[in-house]
Amino acid sequence: MMDPAGNFAKNDIDLWYYRDPVFNGLSSTFAYANEHKPILVNTNFFWGEGNQLERVRKHGNFTCRFTGDSGVQRHEAGVMETSPIGGYKADALPDQIRCRTPKWGQIENAVMEISING
């Protein structure tokens, strides 16, 4: 809030900027119209280049949007993963995103987009 003299009140609002991840490839390019299929997307999160795992883990809201040629859109949650899935190393950083295809109900092409902030 600004007072009449043009001074802003201290409001303790923290803001952090991040670099958008880069998506490099898909584990599959098809799914049956009546199934939920996991799709793994190789991802460069730029860890160590400004992006911080704990902040992304705490504030990130990975969302996968599917848009069909007909204009139909569906959204599914995305999850950060390390490869291989199920493998665990204490110091391993996520290097992929897992999205699940929605049940579509018709046969058509769709585009998948991923957002880190919903």
pLDDT of residue 43: 97
pLDDT of residue 108: 96
pLDDT at 52: 94
In a domain, 34, yes or no: yes
The reply to whether 8 falls in a domain is no
The number of folded domains in the chain is 1
Per-residue pLDDT of the chain (118 residues; tens, 9 = 90+): 678 888 888 888 888 888 999 999 999 999 999 999 999 999 999 999 999 999 999 999 999 999 999 999 999 999 999 988 777 788 899 999 999 999 998 999 999 999 998 8
- Please, what sign has the CA dihedral across residues 8, 14, 45, 114? negative
Q: Kindly give, in sequence order, each residue whose CB lies less than 8 Å from that of residue 113, ignoring residues fewer than 6 positions away.
A: 64, 65, 67
Domain-located, residue 19: no
Q: Which residues of 68-91 are buried (b: 16+ CB within 10 A; e: fewer)?
A: beeeeeeebebebbeeeeeeeeee
The parent domain of residue 101 ranges over: 29-115
